[in-house]
Amino acid sequence: MCGIVGYCGPKSAKSVLYGGLKRLEYRGYDSAGISVLDADGKVQTVKSVGTVTNLDAGTLPDDASTGIGHTRWATHGGVTDLNAHPHTSGAITLVHNGIIENFETLAETYNIERISQTDTEVLAGLIDHHFASTGSLKDAVLAALAEVQGTYGIVVMSPRQPGTLVAARKGSPLVVGVGRDEHIIASDPQAIVSHTDNIIFLDDGEVAVIDALNIDVYNLANQPQTKMVEEVEQAAEVNMAGFGSFLEKEIHEQPSSLTEVMRGRISGDGRITLGGPDLTADQIAGLDNILIIGCGTAYYAGMYAKYELEDLLGIPVQVEHASEFRYRHAAYSPSTSLAIFMSQSGETADTLAALEEAKRRGVPTMGIVNTVGSTLARSVSNGGIYLHAGTEVSVASTKAYSSMVVALLMFGGFLADRRGQRLGDIRVLAEDLVNLPHEIELCTKLSDPIKAIAAEIAGHSNWFVLGRGNLFPIALEGALKVTEVSYIHAQAFPTGEMKHGPISLIDEGHISVVLLPEDKLLYDKSISGVQEIRAREGKVLTISSRPALEHSDWHITVPMVGHRVSGLVMNCCLQLLALHVAEKLGRDTDRPRNLAKSVTVE
């Protein structure tokens, strides 16, 4: 969600911080700020509403070598300069990701004065209160965190302890880059890897004391902790490569990202081999229930895979909203179940909370995640699958979504093979998956005709997206994309459910996007739904591998592919449709309002 960067070292802090914030801007972008300690031991701060480019960082001293920076996604308080981070209270300046749930009680108890509406300023005041008595920045942070309820990733500095930063995390990620006579703290390795590929991952309940030469890590009981320095891959340079937006670029990157997720995992003879899942032969043989848990796009990826996994494996597959899973009882046997947690970032707060609940219940847990070294990847009990989809900058997920679906389908084929089930179907699945990148590439070539359709329908403010069978989850994901990037009210339903209530909204101003399956029976049933819409003056856009219907106002013909993956080709069409409608309406397709890439609060 929000982005944090901190620096101690010989370089100009403001340059490192500004560059890091630019790389993290996709995670939160309501406002931004940088604070540095100048040569006189004073805190110099610049803040601005909007993007990082609005920051007047040039006014900060060049020789300041310690500082912290932040990009904000508003939780407490509006989007204003006063509410932007860093926040200073007394001798403490800090940046914070997360939510302090008891901030009002703390403010009243300690009579903390505030000029902002944020919970973060209260935390700064609380640390300052303890700093006055302890004289130690680390001890003050430990004492304050003992009273805090909620989640946090924080970096703290003070002119009374110059050259030192104290960082702490609980439920919000922080990593430390180890360079030559320098340390860089960030909420995402993306801000660090241009400086060093040596990373220390802080775990929940850890506090790090950092200067240019040293890093010491403690738990919340003030006991020293041993941490390993890990080497991470250098991230590819993030640029738009000639495309008009990152969203457009990432839609067109799907052929290569899907190739990467399958690389080395599908053999020439149609076998699917996965080294990541850590499941014994007995666990695989005894498996009688799969839970797939995620938020938003990850949830819809699980919904699509559910149809295919149940068919391949013959066992029930439940797809759960992560935000609901931990708060309800579910009837399943932990010993014969497997919970798969999905997240592009691996830092989604609801998903991580659900993961801890599943582990508490004794359910084996596996992860499907795009970000190496993320909290999710490090916390699951039974391994998982890295997507290797590359950095996804646009808030609206595209290539990570399709990669998640493919990873789940490969996992289904992997399990079926190990269980001795449906071997012929596994080979067909493997062939369909191998051919999928080419079919998606063909779909991206439909961008211009889709753009022409988008120009005609962008003025309609109410949409249905309809599909049957495994195309219903594609309709859900498509409606989400339209809603996210164009701000049009789009809802998804199974095509057959439209007549059970939603049809009352159909009129001449309403758009229905109908996904037509290849299956003859479901195709014919879907045509009936199209006719019901047209009978009520509704406008219809159909998407199908078959030719256009006489009942369609607009039609997109997609390549014919295997039925288990055909939805991903239609999904690419819906991504392009959402992109071009949003462009027509003048939306910021990479940074939709009110959204953030990685949601690290519940």
pLDDT digit string, tens, across residues 37-88? 998 999 999 999 988 989 999 999 999 999 999 998 777 778 898 999 999 9
The reply to whether 120 and 52 lie within a common domain is yes
State the CATH number of the domain containing residue 563.
3.40.50.10490
The pLDDT score that the predictor gives to residue 26 is 64
* DSSP 3-state of 154: strand
C-alpha to C-alpha distance for 440 and 418, rounded to whole angstroms: 29
Q: What is the pLDDT of residue 523?
A: 83
**Tens digit of pLDDT for each residue in 234-270?**
655 668 889 999 999 999 999 999 999 999 999 888 8
**464 and 393 share one domain:** no
**Which run of H or of E encompasses 322?**
helix 322-325
Q: Do 351 and 341 form a contact (C-beta atoms < 8 A)?
A: yes
Residue 209 has pLDDT above 70, yes or no: yes
At 305 the three-state DSSP class reads helix
519 and 574 assigned to the same domain = yes
Of 444, 473, 493, which one is at a domain's C-terminal end? 444
> 278 and 203, same structural domain?
no
Domain match, 162 and 270 both = no
Cβ atoms 122, 107 nearer than 8 A: yes
Note down the domain range covering 458: 446-602
AA letter at 268: G
Label residue 205 by pLDDT band (50, 70, 90). Answer: very high
Q: What is the DSSP letter of 477?
A: H
Separation CA 355–CA 377 (nearest Å): 11
Q: Please determine, for residue 171, whether its predicted confidence score (pLDDT) is greater than 90.
A: no
pLDDT score for 499: 85
453 and 437 assigned to the same domain: no
Instruction: For residue 307, count other CB atoms closer than 10 A to its CB.
Output: 18
This prediction has a pTM of 0.85
Write down the pLDDT at residue 107.
95
- For 558-592, write each residue's pLDDT tens digit: 988 888 999 999 999 999 999 999 999 999 998 88
pLDDT 10s digits, 408-462: 999 999 999 999 988 889 999 999 999 999 999 999 999 999 999 999 999 999 9
Q: Give percent of the chain with pLDDT exceeding 90.
A: 73
Helix, strand, coil share of the chain (percent; to 5): 40, 25, 40
Residue pair 260/389 in contact (Cβ under 8 Å)? The answer is yes
Looking at the fold, whether 279 and 299 belong to one and the same domain comes out as yes
100-159 tens-digit pLDDT: 999 999 999 999 989 999 999 999 999 999 999 999 999 999 999 999 999 899 999 999
CATH code for the domain of 87: 3.60.20.10
Contacts of 355 (CB under 8 A, 6+ apart): 293, 339, 341, 365, 376, 379, 380
Question: 594 and 497 share a domain?
Answer: yes
Q: Look at residue 513 in the predicted model and tell me its pLDDT.
A: 96
pLDDT at 144: 97
Tokens representing 326 are: 């931990």
Contact (CB, 8 A) for 6 and 36: no
Mean pLDDT estimate for the chain? 92
d(CA 21, CA 188): 10
Q: What pLDDT, in 10s, does the model give residues 342-355? A: 999 888 889 999 99
Q: Is 224 helix (H, G, I), strand (E, B) or coil?
A: strand
Same domain, 41 and 165: yes
Torsion angle of C-alpha atoms 161, 164, 170, 173, degrees rounded to 10 = 150
- Give the whole-angstrom CA distance, residue 14 versus residue 289: 52
For the chain, the distance separating the N- and C-terminal CA atoms, rounded to the nearest angstrom, is 11
Within 38-174, strands assigned E span 43-49, 66-72, 87-89, 92-97, 152-157, 165-170
- CA–CA separation, 303 vs 476, rounded Å? 9
pLDDT over 80 at 181, yes or no: yes
Strands (E), 326-372: 337-343, 365-369
Parallel/antiparallel/unpaired status of strands 337-343 and 224-225: unpaired
Is the pLDDT at 601 greater than 70? The verdict is no
Longest dimension (CA), the chain: 79
Q: How far apart are CA 2 and CA 191, in angstroms?
A: 13
Buried-state track 141-180, b at ≥16 Cβ within 10 A, e below 16: bbbbbebbebbbbbbbbbeebeebbbbbbbbbbbbbbbbe
The pLDDT of residue 304 = 97
C-alpha 356: how far from chain center = 18
- Residues contacting residue 230 through CB under 8 Å, at least 6 positions apart: 198, 199, 200, 201, 373
Residue at token pair 């109410």? 462
- Mark whether 408 and 260 lie in a shared domain: yes
Q: Give me the pLDDT at residue 596, please.
A: 64
Total structural domains in the chain? 3
In this structure, the dihedral spanned by the alpha carbons of residues 179, 598, 26 and 32, taken in order and rounded to 10 degrees, is: -80
| Cα 548 from Cα 567, distance rounded (Å) | 18
Buried b (16+ CB within 10 A) or exposed e, 553-573: bbbbebbebebbbbbbbbbbb
Alpha carbons 317 and 519: distance in angstroms, whole number: 23
The SS3 of residue 317 is strand
Which residues, in sequence order, are bridge partners of residue 69?
5, 34
pLDDT reported for residue 72: 86
Mean pLDDT along residues 352-381: 92
Pair 419, 510 in one domain: no
Quick one: which of 392, 297, 311 has its CA closest to 342?
Answer: 297
Q: Please state, as a whole number, how many other Cβ atoms lie within 10 Å of the Cβ of residue 47.
A: 22
CA 519 – CA 461 distance, rounded (Å): 31
| Confidence class for position 316, pLDDT limits 50, 70, 90 | very high
Helix (H, G, I), strand (E, B) or coil at 286: helix
CA distance 435 to 433: 5
| 36/65 Cα distance (integer angstroms) | 7
Looking at per-residue confidence, does 375 or 400 come out higher?
Answer: 400
**Given this model, what pLDDT does residue 75 score?**
76
Say yes or no: 413 and 494 in one domain.
no
**Parallel, antiparallel, or unpaired for β 384-386 and 365-369?**
parallel
Band of pLDDT at residue 391, cut at 50, 70 and 90: confident
Q: Are 13 and 39 in contact (CB under 8 A)?
A: no
Question: Which residues belong to the active site?
Answer: 2, 597
State which of 198, 213, 231 marks the end of a domain.
231
Q: Out of 231, 249, 283, pick the residue that ends a domain.
A: 231
